[in-house]
């Protein structure tokens, strides 16, 4: 099953199970079913709870916040992640603050679905990875879609938590297959560890690795491609860790693994500077200092807006070869 | 409707008799706000606060028109809104002073209050889409309930106001927007920050707009009863624009309006009008409320600091 289909099925399951769940967004109604078709079939089945909205990103985030405040559950689809900037006030200054700023716990069951990332030629205003702008906001969790994590389970978790969450969906994943049963290809295997689960991608033996890459779901294929090549060409085994929840990110359960790595690399598509990757690196430095054998390496896109033309876009964004070069240089 | 308004203000004869309860509430809010400014002068309050001096009659008018289950969204100038909904000056003062018994444990302070279906926030315009969301929840619930949001004239500069109005009318939701048009936003006179009129802006969305002048609580209320009922029972959004005056500073001690503008505000104050029209009732109730507020101030000031389990 493709990732977008799994996500769509997850939303259908949630809508059957939760009579108090609403979905708001632009062009999400049938027969169109959303810009990426993730909401297909939902408005036909649940016309009163799946609400196509005007072009009002801030407004619909507020309406969802109001529904959540009144005790309902709400999911908002932001058509392209770049536009989440228009929702910033409602997410950061209303939804997340309201959880605790009234001196009491106010549960807000609210998920913002946010398609992100480039490599699809959508150009500067439709390709950004805005994760970093939402790091470290009290009472706000950040999740990222991955081909390893069952979307229904992740959505259940986000909605039951009682605090708003942003769910980043790297658009590149929509047409990729979901993985099941621990098998990726003839070289790579995976399993899920921890809670909330982190996917651990390995080569044959999960305890045999020289480096560990930590990366969100959208980067998984690029990292796996680099891992595969490095193993086939140089017989250097590595490990990839893909967390479902980016923030808060509990590195504690992963420390036994990370302490054994010769090299640690954190990869993400955001431009460097105040990013998730640097946040992860910082928390690893403070816990693994004295055990680290090399500085932690970060992989980011170039400090640039994202061009439209494929050859220019390719140069700016993190690619499989960017990751490969970093791994190779580290392990040289 | 137009209550009798002369060029020099509301005439003493222009107000109808008022029940003790209503006059008591008006005067409670007035004494509460004056006490706050006094506490500020004594250096006993932290941060800032915005008093509703001159505008107290607006939530008093609306009080009996609201159901306890209606959502009310207030703003930075919300003490009157709160006191009209909950007869709880001690809780509010404790919140503002960070003392035991504070409504929100002192975390929210003057501008951020949550109690039941009452909520205020310090970000202008933010509450309108939220009010639309709660109005949707109420409308789906099938009870004739509504969401009401107070905003100032200055807040009509915020885009979220228009996104919210559009959706409220598009989806036929029970939303009342109460505009306290006090002719000024912080230090900027309305004519320097707003083009056109609020009436025309509401009309652009096909939303009913009603402008209210004067300070006759009973008359205004009677005028509003059918309008609010229509919102409640027919899900017809409504913009109520109160033509009002801000008597005091924006926040504590920051008034640089010209003396004639301050005088104009004073001439439109409800306080001397009711005092002159119903002197016996007024003095009797004012004395009671003045004493009550003084007691609340003494009581709350002596309380231990609030605690908050994060
Ligand atoms: C989004 C936002 N911008 C600016 C402010 C600062 N501020 C607080 S009140 C105010 C003026 C509001 O004017 P108005 O809406 O007319 O209400 P009034 O103070 O007159 O009651 C301003 C600029 C704010 N709180 N929120």
For tokens 């109604």, what's the residue? A29
Answer whether residue A177 is part of any domain.
no
pLDDT at B11 over 70: no
Give percent above pLDDT 70 in chain B.
96
**pTM for this entry:** 0.94
Q: Is the CB of B123 under 6 A from ligand 1?
A: yes
Q: Is the CB of B54 under 6 A from ligand 1?
A: no
**Cβ atoms B211, B241 nearer than 8 A:** yes
Give chain A positions within 8 Å (CB) of B166. 54, 56, 59
Rounded to an integer, the average pLDDT of A240-257 is: 97
- Tell whether A31 and A129 lie within a shared domain: yes
CA angle B267, B81, B118 (to 5 degrees): 165
Of A309-313, B162-166, B241-245, the range with the lowest mean pLDDT is: A309-313
d(CA A62, CA B206): 21
- Atom of ligand 1 minimally distant from the CA of B156: 15
Cross-chain Cβ contact B167/A63 below 8 Å = yes
Q: CB atoms < 10 A from the CB of B257, how many?
A: 17
Measured in angstroms, the CA of B171 and the nearest CA of chain A are apart by: 10
Residue A81's domain comprises 3-170
Higher pLDDT, B11 or A184: A184
Tell me the pLDDT tens digit for each residue of B15-51: 999 999 999 999 999 999 999 999 999 999 998 899 9
Residues 82-111 of A with CB under 8 A from B: 89-90, 93-94, 98, 100-104, 106
Cross-chain Cβ contact A102/B113 below 8 Å = yes
For tokens 């969790």, what's the residue? A141
- CA-nearest of B25, B143, B139 to B82 is B25
Residues contacting B90, CB < 8 A, separation 6+: B101, B296, B299, B300
Q: Could you write out the three-class secondary structure of chain A? A: CEHHHHHHHHHHHHHHHCCCEEEEECCCCCCCCCCCCCCCCHHHHCCCCEEECCCCHHHHHHHHHHHHHCCCEEEEECCCHHHHHHHHHHHHHHHHHHCCCCCCCCCCEEEEEEEECCCCCCCCCCCCCHHHHHCCCCCCEEEECCCCCCHHHHHHHHHHCCCCEEEEEEHHHCCCECCCCCECCCCEEEEEECCCCEEEEEECCCCCCCEEEECCHHHHHHHHHHHHHHHHHHCCCEEEEEECEEECCCCHHHHHHHHCCCEEEEEEEEECCCCHHHHHHHHHHHHHCCCCCCCCEEEEECCCCCCCCHHHHHHHCCCHHHHHHHHHHHHC
Answer whether residue A178 is part of any domain.
no
- Tell whether A188 and A305 lie within a shared domain: yes
Answer whether residue A41 is part of any domain.
yes
Higher pLDDT, B179 or B254: B179
pLDDT at A204 over 60: yes
CATH number at residue A41: 3.40.50.970
Tell me the pLDDT tens digit for each residue of A75-106: 999 999 999 999 999 999 999 999 999 999 99
Name the helix (H) or strand (E) containing B309.
none
Rounded to an integer, the average pLDDT of A8-19 is: 98
Q: What is the DSSP string of B132-191?
A: HHHHHHHHHHTSS--EEEEEESGGGGSHHHHHHHHHHHHTT--EEEEEEE-SEETTEEGG
Nearest to B132 among A66, A71, A74 (CB): A66
Number of domains in chain A: 2
- Tell whether A76 and A116 lie within a shared domain: yes
Q: How far is the CA of B185 from the centre of ligand 1 (A)?
A: 6
- Tell whether A121 and A252 lie within a shared domain: no
Answer whether residue A61 is part of any domain.
yes
Q: For residue A247, list its beta bridge partners.
A: A142
Q: How far is the CA of A282 from the centre of ligand 1 (A)?
A: 39
Give the residue from chain A lying closest to B123, CA to CA. A93
pLDDT at A60 over 90: yes
Cross-chain Cβ contact A65/B114 below 8 Å = no
d(CA A220, CA A169): 12
Tell me the pLDDT tens digit for each residue of B57-95: 999 999 999 999 999 999 999 999 999 999 999 999 999
Nearest to A63 among B102, B129, B310 (CB): B129
Q: How confident is the model at residue B13, as a pLDDT?
A: 52
Chain B touched by A53 (CB under 8 Å): yes
- Atom of ligand 1 minimally distant from the CA of B55: 21
Q: How far is the CA of B157 from the centre of ligand 1 (A)?
A: 10
Burial of A204 (0-12, 13-18, 19+ CB in 10 A): exposed
Cross-chain Cβ contact B136/A63 below 8 Å = yes
Cross-chain Cβ contact B126/A94 below 8 Å = yes
Please name each of the domains of chain B with its CATH number: 20-295 (3.40.50.970)
Give the residue from chain B lying closest to A61, CA to CA. B129
Answer whether residue A145 is part of any domain.
yes
Q: For residue A263, list its beta bridge partners.
A: A211
> Both tokens of residue B308?
């908050």
- Tell whether A166 and A145 lie within a shared domain: yes
Query: Which residues in B have their CB inside 8 Å of a CB on A?
Result: 71, 102-108, 112-114, 119, 121, 123, 126, 128-138, 140, 147, 159-160, 163-164, 166-167, 170-171, 306, 308, 310
Final residue before a domain boundary, out of A112, A135, A170: A170
Q: How far is the CA of B52 from the centre of ligand 1 (A)?
A: 13
Nearest to B160 among A54, A59, A67 (CB): A59
* Cα within 13 Å of Cα(A202), Cβ side: 16
Q: Is the CB of B79 under 6 A from ligand 1?
A: no
- Atom of ligand 1 minimally distant from the CA of B158: 1
Answer whether residue A259 is part of any domain.
yes
CA distances from B217 to A180, B61, B75, B210, B271 (A): 68, 5, 22, 16, 12
Q: Is B188 left (phi over 0), alpha (psi -120 to 50) or beta?
A: beta
Q: How far is the CA of B154 from the centre of ligand 1 (A)?
A: 6
Query: In residues, how long is chain B?
Result: 310
Give the residue from chain B lying closest to A19, CA to CA. B140
> Both tokens of residue B213?
């002048």
d(CA A192, CA B229): 57
Burial of B193 (0-12, 13-18, 19+ CB in 10 A): middle
Cross-chain Cβ contact B114/A98 below 8 Å = yes
Rounded to an integer, the average pLDDT of A218-240 is: 98
- Tell whether A27 and A159 lie within a shared domain: yes
Confidence of residue B254 (pLDDT cuts 50, 70, 90): confident
Rounded to an integer, the average pLDDT of A304-330 is: 96
Report which DSSP code applies to B6: E
Confidence of residue B9 (pLDDT cuts 50, 70, 90): very low
Answer whether residue A264 is part of any domain.
yes
Give the residue from chain B lying closest to A20, CA to CA. B137
CATH number at residue A278: 3.40.50.920
For tokens 């001196």, what's the residue? A103
Final residue before a domain boundary, out of A120, A146, A170: A170
For tokens 């004639």, what's the residue? B260
Tell me the pLDDT tens digit for each residue of B164-219: 999 999 999 999 999 999 999 999 999 999 999 999 999 999 999 999 999 999 99
Q: For residue A168, list its beta bridge partners.
A: A114, A144
Final residue before a domain boundary, out of A170, A198, A221: A170
Residue nearest to atom 17 of ligand 1 (CA): B152
């Amino acid at each position: 099953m493709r990732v977008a289909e799994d996500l769509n099925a997850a939303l259908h399951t949630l809508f059957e199970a939760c009579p108090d769940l609403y979905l708001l967004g632009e062009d999400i109604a049938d027969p169109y079913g959303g810009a990426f078709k993730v909401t297909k079939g939902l408005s036909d089945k649940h016309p009163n709870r799946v609400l196509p909205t005007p072009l009002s990103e801030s407004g619909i985030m507020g309406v969802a916040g109001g529904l959540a405040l009144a005790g309902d559950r709400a999911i908002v689809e932001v058509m392209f992640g770049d536009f989440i900037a228009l929702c910033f006030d409602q997410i950061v200054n209303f939804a997340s603050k309201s959880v605790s700023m009234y001196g009491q716990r106010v549960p807000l069951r609210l998920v913002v679905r946010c398609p992100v990332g480039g490599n699809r030629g959508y150009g500067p205003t439709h390709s950004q990875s805005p994760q970093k702008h939402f790091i470290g906001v009290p009472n706000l969790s950040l999740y990222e879609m991955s081909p390893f994590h069952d979307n229904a389970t992740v959505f259940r978790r986000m909605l039951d938590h009682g605090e708003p969450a942003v769910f980043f969906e790297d658009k590149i994943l929509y047409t990729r297959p979901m993985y099941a049963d621990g098998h990726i290809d003839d070289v790579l295997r995976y399993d899920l560890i921890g809670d909330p689960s982190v996917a651990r991608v390995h080569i044959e033996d999960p305890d045999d690795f020289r480096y560990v890459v930590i990366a969100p779901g959208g980067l998984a294929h690029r990292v796996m491609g680099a891992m595969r090549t490095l193993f086939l060409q140089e017989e250097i085994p590595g490990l990839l860790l893909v967390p479902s929840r980016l923030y808060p990110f509990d590195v504690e359960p992963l420390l036994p693994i990370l302490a054994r790595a010769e090299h640690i690399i954190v990869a993400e598509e955001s431009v460097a500077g105040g990013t998730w990757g640097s946040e992860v690196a910082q928390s690893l430095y403070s816990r693994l200092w004295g055990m680290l054998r090399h500085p932690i390496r970060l992989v980011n896109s170039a400090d640039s807006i994202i061009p439209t033309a494929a050859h220019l876009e390719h140069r700016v964004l993190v690619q499989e070869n960017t990751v490969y070069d970093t791994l190779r240089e580290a392990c040289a | 409707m137009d209550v009798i308004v002369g060029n020099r203000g509301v005439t003493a004869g222009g107000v109808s008799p008022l029940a003790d309860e209503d006059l008591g509430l008006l005067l409670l809010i007035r004494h509460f706000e004056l006490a706050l400014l006094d506490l500020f002068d004594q250096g006993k309050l932290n941060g800032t606060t915005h008093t509703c001096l001159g505008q107290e009659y607006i939530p008093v008018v609306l009080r009996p028109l609201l159901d306890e289950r209606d959502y009310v969204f207030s703003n930075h100038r919300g003490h009157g809104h709160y006191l009209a909904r909950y007869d709880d000056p001690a809780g509010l003062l404790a919140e503002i002073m960070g003392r035991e018994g504070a409504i929100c444990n002192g975390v929210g302070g003057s501008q951020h209050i949550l109690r039941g279906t009452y909520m205020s926030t310090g970000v202008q315009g933010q509450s309108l889409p939220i009010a639309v969301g709660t109005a949707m929840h109420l409308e789906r619930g099938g009870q004739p309930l509504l969401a009401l949001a107070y905003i100032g004239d200055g807040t009509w500069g915020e885009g979220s106001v228009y996104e919210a109005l559009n959706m409220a009318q598009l989806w036929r939701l029970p939303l009342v927007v109460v505009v306290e048009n006090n002719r000024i936003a912080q230090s900027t006179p309305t004519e320097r920050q707003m083009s056109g009129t609020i009436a025309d802006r509401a009309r652009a969305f096909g939303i009913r707009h009603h402008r209210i002048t004067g300070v006759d609580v009973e008359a205004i209320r009677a005028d509003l009863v059918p309008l609010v009922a229509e919102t409640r029972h027919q899900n017809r959004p409504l913009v109520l624009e109160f033509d009002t005056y801000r008597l005091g500073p924006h926040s504590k001690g920051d008034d640089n309006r010209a003396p004639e503008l301050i005088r104009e505000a004073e001439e439109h104050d409800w306080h001397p009008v009711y005092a002159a029209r119903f002197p016996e009732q007024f003095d009797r109730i004012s004395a009671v409320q003045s004493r009550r507020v003084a007691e609340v101030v003494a009581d709350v000031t002596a309380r231990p600091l609030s605690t908050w389990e994060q």
